[in-house]
Amino acid sequence: MSIDLKNLIPVLQAEWIGFNTATFVDHVSIDSRSLQNGSKTLFIALSGVNNDAHLYIPELIEKGVQNFVVQYIPENSKGKANFLVVKNSLNALQQFAAYYRDLFHFPIIGLTGSNGKTIVKEWLNFLLSPDYNIIRSPKSYNSQVGVPLSVIAINEKHNLGIFEAGISMVNEMTHLEQIIKPNIGVLTNIGSAHDEGFQSLEQKISEKLQLFKRAAVIIYQKSELVDGCLASFLKENQLQDRVLFSWSFTDKTADVFILKKESKNDKTIIQYQYQNGIFDLEIPFQDSASIENGISCLLVLLYFKYDAATIQNRMQLLYPVEMRLEVKNGINNCSIIDDSYSSDFQSLKIALDFLESQNKNASKTVILSDIFQSGFSNEELYSKVAQLITDNKVNRVIGIGNTISSFSDKFSNAVMFQTTADFIASFESLNFANETILIKGARSFQFEEIVTLLEEKTHETILEINLNSISHNLNFFKAKLASQVKMMVMVKAFGYGNGGLEIAKLLEYHKVDYLGVAFADEGISLRNGGIQLPIMVLNPESTSFPSIIQYQLEPEIYSVKGLNAFLKIAREKNLKDYPIHIKLDTGMHRLGFEENTIDELIATLKGNSTVRIQSILSHLATSDDMNHYEFVLSQVRLFERLSSKLMSELDINPIRHILNTSGISNFPDAQYNMVRLGIGLYGVSNDPLEQKYLENVGTLKSIISQVRTIPAGDSVGYGRRFMAQKETKIATIPIGYADGISRLWGNQVGYVNIKNQKAPIVGSICMDMLMVDVSEMDCKEGDSVVIFGENPTVTEIADALKTIPYEILTSISQRVKRVFFR
């Protein structure tokens, strides 16, 4: 793309404030972290509940970005760049995308539905790619932000588009329709429940149909419900001439009628009737969702007039779709970003941004296969790829494939291999260590073999952490704060068991004001990981004072003795104004200055310039329990009195803070200048209503190692504590009390979740394994098992074990691998 900003002024109804020079941009960014931001970038500053991108504008100008769409110009950036000032920058992004879309005239497939959008999109891309240069939404970019970003990536070389649209409320689809304007509409599975945000299933379907206002054909699974919604949609919009192209398992009047469906090994053979012919089709899956998604693809291919033999040849090669980028721990302290199922230019850009945001090691490596279907000549394409890789400051490139190898001179620091097998043969000599490795390749290169080689070998149990949910929860609590109130987030105990450094990085991105850790060591490892936010240490031991100072950590001081010890070391180092935090005991009776020690504290600090009181804090004992409402108020009153006394006698004006998560929810009047968010960030609330608004962060997962059937009368496990009353099918899961699963959760007290069904734990939980009763379900070795997450929740487990979610979360042992994704 090359767009003159001046042309955008009427499109965005913007006010232009900037230099009077002609300005062309060639791409759009909304992510301040992207290393791809540069002089040709149009940066659209979104400001939502998430993160106000306007805050990053000064940094971006320094990095060379010159063109911005903004809602306001930050004070210190005036006169330093071109600004298009708009009322609402999300609208502007959408208007721009709609305008840009109209510059192209090739067919566009628009997908919507409740399930299967991304899979159908990826499969159609695979099925149609031999014949078209396709632009498609990357991953599941189907939201109000994702759709415009996807559309903006169209270029002159494309001749088919496939975009998905997802909505969560009424009226959203109209916006997306104007951006995608699909000519071919596909409605995937619509689910049986209406989601929050819709009053009924009909309303949800009708809203989704809005995507097809301009579509010449609508492809869907026939049912009374959808037919009814379609009829009123067509009538309301006077679209009776639209072609409807439907399929069904049961209704013979559908255009494609499925006569038979038969599983065989890992495949399903279906027989369908279409235009008086009867055809067989093999789909390499067994589950019903995949079959439905496969049939949606079949209809699109029929609409494109492919013959049955070509359809059969291509569809039998369909593959499972990996929908998200995952970070995994690799060998020799590497981390791996696994994107081993796709290679196209647009998704490479996204993956490189992800690499930058997740980069845990100083050094970055990209393993890249040949890139297909870009539409560009190879010469052009690999020049662009090389440039992108340079912009992203990638330290080494490993190219695999004949084509990429032949352009090796375009890359600096590149090693090239003709085939994946050649790479594997040289694996040892490449010495992978201490680097973050992005693995990105077209399917035919089978890069999953490379992932297997690079992945750290541990057992199959992982704790999956959803970084998006953490952002969501952070924003939920931020929204409760009065303006100017700062946010400290507690990442002690390895981020409540969820992973310290990765979460701290995300929080730094979200510009929280402070991090809190329990011990100096925790703060030191955050500093070693590159975290620059101020860090308060709750429980500094005096032996750790020198390293606290060395790593610029800020100690909480809770006694005169501790204060004197810190002052001694600080004076030896000639420190001035070193920030410390004064903890007051207002009733918790754990750590802190009591009322009768305040005078001594004041005397010690008066006239002292070695340290500076950065904040004064106290901690509530019962903020989660309204039965103790009065007690909380007494703590707050005492905090007010003691902190005021310190402030007036020492003539200081520090930050004051007393609220933890449930304090934020229950005592909004006591926010002072800062709050300390803990468990809420990790998705847990003690209030069932509030819990509904939080997103689950951690999912503890494992797999089935073995399945056996035992006769009535046999026992399971140590101590024979489970006796089978009847023939029983038992599955063994490789997770035990050494991983942090309490033994009290065994013996039919607790359960695990297999394919959304409860499998009760039978017998005693062992050190490294536990056994469950799966008599009632269809499962096999290798199937995935959820120990906790959405279901059961940690709260449910904690209640059953008469403890609190904090203990369950922080008990998960460090040998359980943490996998982060967004």
Which residues lie near ligand PLP (CB under 6 A)? 490, 538, 619, 660-661, 676-680
Q: Counting Cβ atoms within 10 Å, is residue 561 exposed (0-12), middle (13-18) or buried (19+)?
A: exposed
CA gap 5, 3 in Å, rounded: 6
Q: Give yes or no for a contact between 557 and 563, defined as CB atoms under 8 angstroms apart.
A: yes
Task: Using the structure block, give the residue that is written with the tokens 């734990």.
Answer: 761
CB of 553 to ligand PLP, least distance (A): 15
* 770 contacts 733 by C-beta, under 8 angstroms: yes
Closer residue to ligand PLP (CB): 29 or 586: 586
Nearer to ligand PLP, 26 or 521 (CB): 521
**284, 288, 294, 295 alpha-carbon torsion, rounded to 10°:** 130
Among the options 121, 492, 583, 729, which is catalytic? 492
How many Cα atoms within 13 Å fall on the side-chain side of residue 306? 20
Catalytic-residue membership of 492: yes
Crossing angle of the two packed helices 467-478 and 500-509, in degrees rounded to 10: 50
416 is annotated as contributing to ligand binding: no
Place of tokens 């919507």: 112
Q: Which residue has the tokens 């700062």?
A: 486
Whole-angstrom distance, CA of residue 643 vs CA of residue 637 = 10
**Between residues 29 and 473, which has the closer beta carbon with respect to ligand PLP?**
473
Q: How far is the CB of 328 from ligand PLP (least distance, A)?
A: 28
Q: In angstroms, give the least distance from the CB of 498 to ligand PLP.
A: 12
Least CB distance to ligand PLP at residue 815 (A): 24
Distance CA 277, CA 283 (A): 19
Beta strand 578-583 with 554-557 is: parallel
Residue nearest to ligand PLP (CB): 678
Smallest gap, in angstroms, from Cβ of residue 629 to ligand PLP?
17
**741: amino acid identity, one letter:** I
HEC secondary structure over 380-435: HHHHHHHHHHHHCCCCEEEEECHHHHHCHHHCCCEEEECCHHHHHHCHHHHCCCCE
Per the DSSP assignment, residues forming a β-bridge with 185 are: 110, 218
324 labelled as ligand-binding? no
Distance set, CA 283 to CA 115, 304, 652, 798 (Å): 18, 19, 72, 43
CA 792 vs. chain centroid, Å, equals 21
Q: Which two tokens stand for residue 624?
A: 């989660």
- Whose Cβ is closer to ligand PLP: residue 215's or residue 507's? 507
Min dist. Cβ of residue 459 to ligand PLP (A): 30
Spatial CA neighbour of 605 closest among 548, 554, 572, 567: 567
* Beta-carbon count within 10 A of 579 CB: 16
Does residue 718 carry a catalytic annotation? yes
Contact (CB, 8 A) for 447 and 432:
no
Pick the closer one to ligand PLP by CB: 143 or 685. Answer: 685
Q: Which residues are within 8 A (CB) of 756 and not within 5 positions of it... i.e. 6 or more apart?
A: 791
State in angstroms the smallest separation of the CB of 464 from ligand PLP.
21
Q: Say whether 304 sits in a helix, a strand or coil.
A: coil
For residue 539 the two structure tokens come to: 């429980």
Nearer residue to ligand PLP within complex by CB, 159 or 525: 525
When the beta carbons of 676 and 701 are compared against ligand PLP, the nearer one is 676
CB of 743 to ligand PLP, least distance (A): 26
* CB closer to ligand PLP out of 516 and 789: 516
- Which residues make up each annotated binding site? 590, 767
Q: Which residues are annotated as a binding site for substrate?
A: 590, 767
Active site residues: 492, 718
